Chains A and B, each alone.
Chain A
Amino acid sequence: DAGVIQSPRHEVTEMGQEVTLRCKPISGHNSLFWYRQTMMRGLELLIYFNNNVPIDDSGMPEDRFSAKMPNASFSTLKIQPSEPRDSAVYFCASSPRGAYEQYFGPGTRLTVT
């Protein structure tokens, strides 16, 4: 099993640019989660999907953030326009059953200059 796959692993962009982060969950998992990790705030849940449907996006910081899951094997997290304070490591996780037993991807380290 390849595990959760995220791309890119590193992204450096300038303020104002659009950033798209990608995630492929583990096959057969029906729940997908996007997290953000920073030194100041720790690990924050941004949004999660069950069966491709967004369930709770209350953690999405602003309208600049959006997430989609067009099918069971792919999700994107988009930031438009990006700002320096968005710099963080973004993790995607998937689970075979809701919040239980989440498996994390390696993360995307985003730097906005």
Chain B
Amino acid sequence: GEDVEQSLFLSVREGDSSVINCTYTDSSSTYLYWYKQEPGAGLQLLTYIFSNMDMKQDQRLTVLLNKKDKHLSLRIADTQTGDSAIYFCAETRFGGDKLIFGTGTRLQVFP
């Protein structure tokens, strides 16, 4: 199976909070990332968290990491239509030299 798993779709109303979830399998993960891909564009690094942290907040974005359950989430407060995109979770592992990407979650924001 996939090393990094995400649900495929999420639909939210503008102004609500969005929570995008990700699970990974390797306990040696060192950094975990969230990337955003808008239509026709490349992946944009949104934020990342080191594996010894539980939470990281950056303006409207909050990343939560549960190492015990190998679960990562991205919360977007006050979701806007401009947040509509595909969001990828990714990890690097200790001594690793590659990013392992999830399948991506397509976030749709409706008025």
- Tell me the A residues contacting B by CB distance below 8 Å: 4, 31, 33, 42-43, 45, 48, 50, 55-56, 91, 93, 98-107
Contact = CB atoms under 8 A, between A and B. Distances in A.
Contact of A56 (B44, B45, B88, B98): B98
A91 B42 contact: yes
Nearest to B96: A99
A100 B88 contact: no
Interface stretch (B9-17, B20-28, B57-65, B99-107): B99-107
B43 A104 contact: yes
A43 B45 contact: no
Contacts of A50: 97
Contact of B97 (A42, A56, A103): A56
Nearest to B48: A101
B99 A99 contact: yes
Contact of B43 (A45, A91, A98, A99): A91
Prevailing SS type, chain A contact patch: strand
Given A42-B104, A43-B88, A99-B92, A104 B42 contact: yes
Contacts of B41: 106-107
A95 to B, nearest CB: 9
Contact of B98 (A4, A99, A101, A103): A99
A55 B88 contact: no
Given A99-B92, A99-B96, A100-B31, A42 B101 contact: yes
Contact of B92 (A42, A45, A100): A100
Interface in B52-111: 88, 92, 96-99, 101, 103-104
A42 B103 contact: yes
Given A42-B104, A99-B92, A106 B98 contact: no
Contacts of A55: 97
Contact of A48 (B35, B43, B98): B98
Contacts of A45: 98-99
6 contacts: A4-B42, A43-B101, A98-B92, A99-B96, A99-B99, A101-B48
